[in-house]
């Protein structure tokens, strides 16, 4: 007798349950846009979707329809919870975040080594902080030229 074993097992079938549903934040990641837009949607076996509720930073849930144009948000990371309810009022949550940063990095100085006239290519150093989203990158422009991305320390061309 020959027994054959299938090379791959069939995908387990999970009846009548959605593990998650997508909530798309536009724009994603850190942004200066204080009113990101949420789009989302899911389906429900049997009774169908009844409504969605939105809670921001654990606030009181509000019934919403998508797309959701968020009210003006302050700088920082905000917790977004969208809950889908089917017609039997079974809830399913989806959690995401929006990242708002409208504040530029702290003022900073450029140190030139050596200072003053020199016959060697000078090196510049610079560093600043950003209280919210963090510093992503620096750009350098010489004599109003095209800005280029640089890191500190940077040796100036001569």
Contacts to Ca ion by CB under 5 A: 101, 103, 130, 132-133
User: 72 vs 146, which CB is nearer to Ca ion?
Assistant: 72
Pairwise CA distance, residues 112 & 154, whole Å? 10
Least distance (Å) from Ca ion to the CB of residue 102? 7
Give 112: exposed, middle or buried? Use CB within 10 Å, 0-12, 13-18, 19+.
middle
Tokens 């030139």 label which residue?
A: 112
User: 47 vs 131, which CB is nearer to Ca ion?
Assistant: 131
Tokens 């975040």 label which residue?
A: 97
Radius of gyration for the alpha carbons in the chain, expressed in angstroms and rounded = 26
User: 36 vs 133, which CB is nearer to Ca ion?
Assistant: 133
Least distance (Å) from Ca ion to the CB of residue 132? 4
Least distance (Å) from Ca ion to the CB of residue 79? 19
């Amino acid at each position: 007798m020959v027994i054959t074993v299938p090379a791959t097992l069939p995908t387990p079938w999970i009846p009548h349950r959605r593990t998650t549903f997508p909530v798309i934040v536009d724009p994603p990641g850190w942004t200066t846009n204080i009113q990101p837009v949420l789009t989302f949607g899911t389906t429900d076996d049997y009774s169908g979707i009844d409504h969605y509720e939105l809670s921001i930073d654990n606030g009181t849930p509000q019934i919403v329809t998508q797309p959701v144009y968020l009210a003006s948000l302050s700088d920082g990371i905000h917790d977004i919870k969208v809950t889908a309810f089917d017609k039997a009022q079974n809830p399913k949550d989806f959690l995401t975040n929006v990242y708002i940063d409208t504040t530029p990095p702290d003022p900073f100085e450029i140190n030139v080594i050596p200072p003053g006239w020199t016959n060697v290519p000078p090196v510049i150093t610079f560093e600043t902080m950003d209280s919210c989203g963090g510093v992503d990158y620096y750009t350098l422009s010489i004599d109003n030229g095209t800005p280029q991305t640089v890191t500190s320390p940077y040796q100036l061309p001569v």
